[in-house]
Amino acid sequence: MVESGTSMRTPIPIGEAANPPFAKLPEPATLFRLRAQRFAILSEDHPLRPYLRFMAGLCEAQHRVQDGLPEPEMPPADVVSRASSFGMPPLDRNAFTADKTFGVTLDRFFALAPQIEMPDTAREALARVTACDAAGRETLLRGVLAAAAPVEALGEHMFMAAAVQVHFARLAARLDAKALKPVGEGACPVCGGPPVSSAVVGWRGAHGTRFCACALCSTLWHVVRIKCTLCGSTKGVAYQEIENGPGAGLVRAETCDTCGLYVKLLQNIADPMLDPVADDVATLALDLLLREAGTYRRGAVNPFLLGY
């Protein structure tokens, strides 16, 4: 594993000064299919090939489940306005109440999921979550929204999280991105959740800037570089990667000595195909090395990496 300091800057092409938007909302119609394709590409000749193939199937199911879903119930305009006034996320995950569309999404997703190629342990977990009563589903839902899962129910949590991601991405897509405001360090401006990873992008008008990706609703929000995405500190920020390993040169762990946490930083500016969820999973080896070193703890949340 190699470590670098805080000099990781990418020059902005002349005539393309960056003026990034604060937030970019997800596009559910393409989000999950593109993620499925990325997982499939990453699975080729990868030590985690069976799991990455399973993830490709899971994301394809997330895409397919949207066909014909009813409109989600958006919060009233006055609630959204009040949340903005008080620096709160408009789709606060802690205040989420399941509506009819969420129930339909769950039922359809659990009906589609058996078609996915998966290991026996995952299929057993799917059977258990499908058989859950209303109280059991509510418990799993609250665990997903709190970004926490009991060790004995990691598989059930994963399937629930996949369905919840679809619902929240559809909700987020219907907001006004220009009305969004910061709600705190390391918090998604839409739902208040933690990031799954961050990325330096090459978009026109935002070339060389960094965006965090929400683990739940897939909203992207701008965070200045050379700054911890979780605590906001600019001291003791460094970058680590596995030399010649998965994601080498494209995925680094941004570590912070102030809070002792790290979040992966993807170089989308070099490869626009990098995905905040898929490439996080595919570089699990980096997480394992950092955990073995014991200096930093993972500060990002990925429901498909819980337990590692």
User: What digits encode the pLDDT tens for the residues 79-116?
Assistant: 999 998 899 999 999 999 999 999 999 999 999 999 99
- For the chain, what is the radius of gyration of the CA atoms? 19
User: What pTM did the predictor assign?
Assistant: 0.92
- Measured in degrees and rounded to the nearest 5, phi and psi for residue 252 equal -125, 155
Q: How many percent of the chain have pLDDT more than 90?
A: 84
Strands 251-256 and 297-298: unpaired
Residue 295 has, within 13 A of its CA and on its CB side, a CA count of: 13
DSSP tag of 235:
S
pLDDT digits (tens, 9 = 90+) for 222-233: 999 989 999 999
Q: Measure the CA–CA gap between 203 and 206, rounded to whole angstroms.
A: 5
Residue 117's alpha-carbon distances to 49, 52, 54, 113, in angstroms, are 12, 11, 6, 9
Confidence of residue 4 (pLDDT cuts 50, 70, 90): low
Asked if 157 and 143 touch (Cβ cutoff 8 Å), the reply is yes
Identity at 186, one-letter amino acid code: G
Q: What is the pLDDT of residues 267-285, one digit of tens each?
A: 999 999 999 999 999 999 9
Mean pLDDT of the chain: 92
CB of 253 within 8 A of CB of 298? no
Q: What pLDDT was estimated at residue 243?
A: 84
Domains of the chain: 2-24+178-298 (3.90.1670.10), 28-176 (3.90.1670.10)
- Distance from C-alpha of 245 to C-alpha of 247, rounded to nearest angstrom: 6
- What is the Cα–Cα distance from 59 to 31, expressed in whole angstroms? 9
